[in-house]
Amino acid sequence: MGIQLQSGDRKRTIKRTTPHTDNHYKNVIQSVYAQAAEKVENKDIALIAKRMCQSQTNQPSVSTSRLASISKNQQGKTLVLVSTVTNDPRVIEIPKMTVCALKFTATAKAHIEKFGGKCITFDDLILENPKMENVFMVQGKRSHRATYKKFGSAGISSSVVAKGHGSGCKGRKRQLHGLRW
């Protein structure tokens, strides 16, 4: 015997509509972009509103060296990323670029502005460019987290999986792993 479900109950998808954060700036900016996405049919505005709601693991940071390599092909466009911009001290010179992000580290902001670039926030972006023309969306690599090194099958030949935490047990069992009683 099965259970009686209303029509469409099986096909329920759960999607975040608000950011799960205590950061009031992020909550206000997301609501502004969500309302703008409803009124104006623009894919970039809707994409920004969607990415504001993502978890922190899905908002990886982007370095200034990666932004420099992207801006060489996207000259004259504003680089928009819903994450943090960090500095890469290995790259000495970067091209002039306009970057819009949630957060900039102090060294990254100084490095971009030193070479004539501009660092703006999302409220400045929607005031300066409400139609989102000449905008290029940028994302960091999600697979560059340290935990990704431990994913996969360890012990197989030609496997490059990093060593994990032993047996994967918790507490006392982990300490006794490998001992015989």
Report if residue 40 sits inside a domain: no
Residue 133's domain spans which residues? 56-142
3-state secondary structure of 61: coil
Residue 96 domain flag? yes
Residue 34 lies in a domain: no
How many structural domains does the chain have?
A: 1
CATH of the domain at 95: 3.100.10.10
| Spatial distance between the Cα atoms of 114 and 96, rounded to a whole number of angstroms | 9
- Does residue 167 carry a pLDDT above 70? no
Mean pLDDT within 35-51: 95
Residue 87 within any structural domain of the chain: yes
- Identify the band that residue 4 occupies on the pLDDT scale cut at 50, 70 and 90: confident
Q: Do the domain assignments include residue 132? A: yes
Asked if the structure places residue 181 within a domain, the reply is no
**65-84 per-position pLDDT tens digit:** 999 999 999 999 999 999 99
Report yes or no on 45 lying in a domain: no
C-alpha atoms less than 13 angstroms from C-alpha of 115 in its C-beta half-sphere: 16
- Indicate the pairing of strand 118-120 with strand 98-104: parallel
Name the average pLDDT for the chain.
88
Which residues lie below 8 Å from residue 76, measured CB to CB, with a gap of 6+? 134
Please give the model's pTM, rounded to 2 decimal places: 0.81
Establish if 28 belongs to a structural domain.
Answer: no
pLDDT of 181 above 60: no
